[in-house]
């Protein structure tokens, strides 16, 4: 008996083969959300049989029309069921950038829990199902912008906690997407509503105390590395130091994003390193791209704040000292126009401060400010697949790992 015959006669092998084909098709042609079709349609056909699928019935030419109707009913059911799961329970997400390296890597496929913080009722209800803001294989919008609902969140299992890895809609979206159709970002929530946050020489302080990092968190910084001669690029790649950048050719000047383990490993593995130092922007040096883009603040990525994170129901006085921080946020997200200062204002929503674990290679709250609660999508729960595109292999040791 041929291998193909064996597969076709074994529903479990058939399920595995079709699943692998469908996963590859979703990865390179569609997107991860379409994986739900596999779970709901193929799983039901082969195992559950809750739907009277046409292919399960004996062939009868007279019933062709009813079979087509049966397929259409099944597809509609699957789309509705998958959409409900995606909106209210769990959604697939891919890590596209190295901003959370090494806690999360480029090529990690995550499941995001919607019920962790409570599912958000769709604010843009008329949209193509199971896609985000663009149609598959096209650049056209997948939604009708003119019809929208106000923000509402159903009760969840809990609230956002400090150090949670949170998926949210990008607040600084410049493409004009509705809130729930803005691009998805994932960062670590380091600042909660009502917190005071400050960064001193890269060290993060919350309410005057050094930030306590969760066990398993792999925070990275940019280091300047000087060597007697060029480092072996093949060896760097095997060590996972793909971010190593040679600035000086044979002179041996590199910039590398390292966590503690990578730091210790590179020092021990390369004896020709003469100097390795964390790159720090000194205090008082103003960087224009840093929120709130106020030259009076003189803040940068490494020396930032102190800044207060708005909390629902809390009243503050908006004056010349903080108007650059809060005016845009109040007018954009809370739809209240500030025409004069000083003025007392009570916040209508909670806000959060998000930062990437790869601190020096992350576009985060230091660049665009606070994340409003109505932008929160869910909690990154676990990695169900991880693919290293540079090395062309699956990272088996990361599959089904919980996100810390």
DSSP 190-209: EE-TT-EEEEETTEEEETTE
The answer to whether residue 350 scores a pLDDT higher than 90 is yes
242 or 268, which is more confident? 268
Check residue 174 and give its pLDDT: 82
Domain ranges of the chain: 3-88, 221-278
What's residue 384's pLDDT? 84
**Lowest mean pLDDT across 11-20, 281-290, 306-315, 372-381:** 11-20
Task: Give the CB-side neighbour count of residue 200, counting CA atoms within 13 A.
Answer: 9
**Residue 117 pLDDT > 60, yes or no?**
yes
Average confidence (pLDDT) over 57-76: 62
Instruction: For residues 254-273, give the mean pLDDT.
Output: 87
Q: How confident is the model at residue 3 (pLDDT cuts 50, 70, 90)?
A: low
Higher pLDDT, 177 or 101: 177
The reported pLDDT for the residue numbered 333 is 93
Q: Which of 12-16, 312-316, 341-345 has the lowest mean pLDDT?
A: 12-16
> How much is the pLDDT for 23?
66
Provide the pLDDT for residue 56.
Answer: 47
Q: Looking at per-residue confidence, does 382 or 232 come out higher?
A: 382
Q: What is the mean pLDDT of residues 92-99?
A: 82
Residue 210 above 60 pLDDT? yes
- Give the pLDDT confidence score for residue 46 in this predicted structure: 52
Alpha carbon distance 274, 272 (integer Å):
6
Which has the higher per-residue pLDDT, 73 or 253?
A: 253
Residue 102 has pLDDT above 50, yes or no: yes
Q: What is the pLDDT of residues 54-65, one digit of tens each?
A: 544 555 555 555
What pLDDT, on the 0 to 100 scale, is given for residue 10?
A: 63
pLDDT of residue 159: 94
**Residue-level pLDDT at 249:** 47
pLDDT at residue 55, as a whole number? 46
Mean pLDDT check: name the lowest of 39-43, 130-134, 220-224: 39-43
* pLDDT of amino acid 260: 87
Architecture of the structural domain at 221-278? 2-Layer Sandwich (3.30)
Question: Residue 282 and residue 302: Cα distance in Å, rounded?
Answer: 7
**According to the model, what pLDDT value does residue 4 have?**
52
Give the pLDDT mean for 326-337: 94
* Residue 179 backbone phi and psi in degrees, to 5: -50, -50
Q: Is the model more confident about 142 or about 52?
A: 142
Q: For 142-149, which contacts have Cβ atoms below 8 Å and span 24 or more sequence positions?
A: 142/181, 143/178, 143/181, 145/176, 145/178, 148/123, 148/124, 148/178, 149/121, 149/122, 149/123, 149/124, 149/125
Measured over all CA atoms, what is the biggest interatomic distance in the chain, rounded to whole angstroms?
84
- What is the sign, positive or negative, of the torsion defined by CA atoms of 266, 268, 269, 272? positive
Lowest mean pLDDT among 3-7, 20-24, 164-168, 287-291: 3-7
User: Quick check: helix, strand or coil at residue 189?
Assistant: strand
The mean pLDDT value for 192-205 works out to 96
* pLDDT given at position 321: 93
Residue pLDDT, tens place only, 118-141: 999 899 988 888 888 888 777 788
* pLDDT value at residue 12: 62
* pLDDT band, very low/low/confident/very high, at 401 (cuts 50, 70, 90): confident
Residue 51: is its pLDDT beyond 60?
no
- The least confident of 66-80, 143-157, 315-329, 352-366 is 66-80
Residue 211: what pLDDT?
Answer: 94
């Amino acid at each position: 008996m041929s291998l193909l015959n064996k597969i076709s006669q074994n529903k479990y092998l058939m399920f595995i083969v079709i699943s692998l084909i469908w996963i590859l098709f979703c990865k390179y042609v569609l997107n991860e959300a379409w994986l739900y079709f596999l779970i709901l349609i193929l799983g039901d056909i082969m195992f559950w049989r809750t739907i009277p699928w046409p292919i399960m019935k004996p062939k009868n030419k007279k019933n062709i029309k009813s079979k087509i109707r049966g397929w259409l009913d099944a597809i509609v059911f699957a789309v509705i069921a998958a959409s409900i799961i995606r909106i209210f329970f769990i959604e697939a997400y891919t890590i596209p950038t190295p901003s959370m390296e090494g806690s999360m890597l480029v090529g990690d496929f995550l499941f995001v829990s919607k019920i962790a913080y409570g599912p958000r009722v769709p604010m843009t209800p008329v949209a193509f199902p199971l896609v985000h803001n663009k149609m598959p294989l096209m650049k056209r919008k997948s939604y009708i912008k003119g019809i929208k609902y106000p923000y509402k969140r159903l009760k969840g299992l809990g609230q956002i906690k400090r150090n949670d890895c949170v998926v949210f809609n990008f607040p600084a979206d410049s493409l004009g997407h509705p809130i729930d159709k803005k691009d998805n970002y994932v960062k670590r929530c380091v600042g909660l509503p009502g917190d005071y946050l400050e960064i001193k020489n890269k060290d993060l302080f919350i309410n005057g105390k050094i930030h306590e990092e969760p066990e398993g968190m792999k925070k990275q910084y940019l280091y300047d590395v000087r060597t007697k001669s060029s480092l072996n690029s093949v060896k760097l790649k095997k060590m996972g130091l793909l971010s190593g950048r040679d600035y000086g050719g044979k002179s041996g000047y590199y910039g590398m994003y390292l966590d503690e383990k990578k730091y210790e490993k590179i020092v021990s593995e390369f004896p020709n390193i003469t100097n390795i130092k964390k790159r720090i922007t000194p205090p008082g040096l103003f960087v224009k791209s840093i929120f709130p883009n106020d030259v009076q603040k003189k803040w940068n990525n490494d020396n930032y704040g102190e800044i207060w994170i708005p909390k629902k129901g809390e009243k503050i006085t908006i004056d010349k000292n903080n108007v650059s921080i809060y005016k845009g946020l109040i007018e954009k997200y809370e739809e209240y126009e500030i025409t004069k200062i000083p003025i007392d204002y009570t916040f209508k929503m909670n806000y959060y401060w998000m930062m990437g674990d790869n601190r020096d290679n992350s576009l985060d709250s230091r660049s665009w400010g606070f994340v409003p609660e109505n932008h929160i999508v869910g909690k990154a729960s676990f990695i169900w697949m991880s693919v290293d595109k540079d090395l062309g292999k699956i990272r088996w040791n990361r599959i089904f790992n919980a996100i810390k």
